[in-house]
Amino acid sequence: MRIVLYLHLHQPWRLARFRYLDLGSGRPYIDEARNLEIFRGIAERCYRPTLARLEAALEREPEFRLSLSITGTYLEQAAKAAPDVLETLRRLVRTGRVALLSETYYHSLAFLLPPPELHDEVELHREALRREFGVRPTVLRMTELAYSDELARFAEGERFRGMLVEGWEGILRGMPPTHVYCAAPAPTVSLLARHYMLSDDIGFRFSSTSWSEYPLTAEKYVRWIAATPGEVVNLFMDFETFGEHHPASSGILEFLSALPRTVRATPGLSWATVDEAVALPPRESLSAPTTVSWADQNRDLGAWLGNDLQRSAFEAAKKIGVLVRKAGAPELLETWRRLLTSDHFYYMYVGGHGADAGVHQYFSSYGSPYDAYANYMNSLMDLRRRALERLGGARVPERPEWNRPR
């Protein structure tokens, strides 16, 4: 059994309060200082201590392997807020035992936009990884582990050897997540299915004192893995699981450190990067006519586009994208893409199923989804105004179509 530990590193450019009265004022949409302050806080609690333990494990355990995805917006913020974190990441990649994954630079929902947006953003990200780490990934992960037949075809067209997918019953149809699969419409693309039970034992349940398995030790956890039939066990989770979602006081960092040596001591277990795992022969093909993700109980895009606010904001962003591309100004395109980051839509999530609602509130930087929507729309309206100005000189912007009086 090969263990694939894959951790996701992302920070969005959160928006500052941009009031309706600020339209046309030239105020920036993003409060850079505040974002960097947040980044520094997480670096202190999570990035630095976790990376230090991973680096130590790589030195100590020659068999230990790890895979990381790092978004473009994360790289931008790291360079400004904590260059040492970026330097540590480079050292990790240089070991040759840490694989990087491709994705959209802006952690966006670009796969729902007309081409060539998705290609452009994946290309931007490839370029950033080449620049920062000198590597070219062979495996693609889409924002929030979104996956569909269409995305598999895209990955094939972009010459990726594999993609990540949620190991959810809806797509596995009774098969275990511990096989390597391939995409039905694109057999050259191998699929690694997230073992969500084992992944969420660490990601969600580790510090829950009401959990029957609390406290979770590396020994117990590795025993579970060893007892799982199959070829690969895919442990995919947010990097911030370690030290941020679960504070250091929960013992999560010691747990992480203990994993590699416990695995070494267990016969039949070894580590693999995503690149190594997708090289294994696929057992079956999977098809996904609709998009699945790793979020919430429904494993769909409901967390980003489930309600009217989110859909209306995304549709507006889509329409403004046409103007922005037409305007042809790089700074407008960059601003627009920063607004496509999926987190902005996540903040507009309303209420919902008990556990999920709590998770959403935890990640939001707004008082309410309405707050998030109004602020986002104001920024978008202002961007629209700037694009129109660029396009038509003194032309008076007409009322946007989502906003005609009824």
Partner 1 sequence: MVGWEWPPNHSGGLGVHCFELCKELTKMGHSVTFLSPFPGPHTRVEGVTFRCPADAPDDPFPGAYEIRGSPGGWQEGDIERFNAWLARFPIGEHHLIHAHDWFGTVGATELARRSGRPLVMTVHSTEYDRSLGHPWKEILERERTGVASADRVIAVSEHLKRQLVERYGASPDKVRVIYNAVRPSERLAALTGSEMIVLYLGRLAAMKGVDTFLRAAARVAPRTPAPLFVVAGEGPEAPRLLLLAARLGLADQVLFLGKISEEERVTLLAAASVFVLPSVVEPFGIAAAEAMAAGIPAIVSKTSGIAEITDSVFTVDFWDVDEFASRISELLEYPTLRRAMGDAGRRSMLLEGWEARALQTAGVYFELVTGGRR
Active site residues per annotation: 144
Asked if 190 touches partner 1 (CB under 8 A), the answer is: no
Q: One symbol per residue from 279 to 318: x for binding partner 1 (CB under 8 A), - otherwise; what is it?
A: ----------------------------xxx--x------
| Nearest distance from C-beta of residue 108 to partner 1, angstroms | 21
| Nearest distance from C-beta of residue 406 to partner 1, angstroms | 7
Count of beta carbons in the 10 Å neighbourhood of residue 225: 20
Distance of CA 142 to the CA centre of its chain: 7
Taking the least distance from each CB to partner 1, the nearer of 330 and 354 is 354
Q: One symbol per residue from 380 to 399: x for binding partner 1 (CB under 8 A), - otherwise; what is it?
A: -x------------------
Q: Applying CB under 8 A, which part among 61-69, 92-100, 110-118, 365-373 lies near partner 1?
A: 365-373
Taking the least distance from each CB to partner 1, the nearer of 284 and 315 is 315
Tokens of 58: 């790589």
Pick the binder of partner 1 from 33, 219, 370, 392 (CB under 8 A): 370
Residues within window 149-188 making contact with partner 1, judged by CB under 8 A: none
| Nearest distance from C-beta of residue 245 to partner 1, angstroms | 23
Asked if 25 touches partner 1 (CB under 8 A), the answer is: no
Alpha-carbon distance values, 267 to 1, 20, 54, 222 (Å): 10, 62, 22, 11
- The span from the CA of 190 to the CA of 139, in Å, is 9
Taking the least distance from each CB to partner 1, the nearer of 42 and 374 is 374
Asked if 371 touches partner 1 (CB under 8 A), the answer is: yes
Q: Are strands 139-140 and 98-100 parallel, antiparallel or unpaired?
A: unpaired
Tokens of 322: 């046409």
Q: By C-alpha distance, which of 344, 328, 325, 324 is closest to 384? A: 324
- The span from the CA of 158 to the CA of 140, in Å, is 10
Asked if 379 touches partner 1 (CB under 8 A), the answer is: no
Q: By C-alpha distance, which of 4, 287, 302, 290 is closest to 173? A: 287
Provide the b/e sequence for 280-317 (b: ≥16 CB within 10 Å).
bebeeebebeebbbbbbebbbbbbbbbbebbeebbebb
| Nearest distance from C-beta of residue 381 to partner 1, angstroms | 8
Pick the binder of partner 1 from 143, 199, 273, 378 (CB under 8 A): 378
- The span from the CA of 2 to the CA of 171, in Å, is 22
Q: Applying CB under 8 A, which part among 109-117, 124-132, 323-331, 376-384 lies near partner 1?
A: 376-384
**13: phi then psi, degrees, rounded to nearest 5:** -85, 100
| 162 within 8 A of 182, measured Cβ to Cβ | no
| Nearest distance from C-beta of residue 333 to partner 1, angstroms | 24
Pick the binder of partner 1 from 172, 184, 333, 350 (CB under 8 A): 350
Q: Applying CB under 8 A, which part among 39-47, 55-63, 296-304, 375-383 lies near partner 1?
A: 375-383
Tokens of 331: 């700074």
Tokens of 38: 């947040």
Compute the C-alpha angle 41/42/43, nearest 5°.
90
Asked if 351 touches partner 1 (CB under 8 A), the answer is: yes
Asked if 57 touches partner 1 (CB under 8 A), the answer is: no
Asked if 94 touches partner 1 (CB under 8 A), the answer is: no
**16: phi then psi, degrees, rounded to nearest 5:** -80, 165
| Nearest distance from C-beta of residue 309 to partner 1, angstroms | 5
Distance of CA 10 to the CA centre of its chain: 6
- The span from the CA of 159 to the CA of 140, in Å, is 10
Taking the least distance from each CB to partner 1, the nearer of 248 and 350 is 350
| Nearest distance from C-beta of residue 18 to partner 1, angstroms | 9
Alpha-carbon distance values, 156 to 30, 116, 159 (Å): 35, 15, 5
Asked if 356 touches partner 1 (CB under 8 A), the answer is: no
Number of residues that bind partner 1 (CB under 8 A): 24
Residues of this chain that interact with partner 1 (CB under 8 A) are: 19-22, 307-309, 312, 350-351, 367-371, 373-374, 377-378, 381, 402-403, 405-406
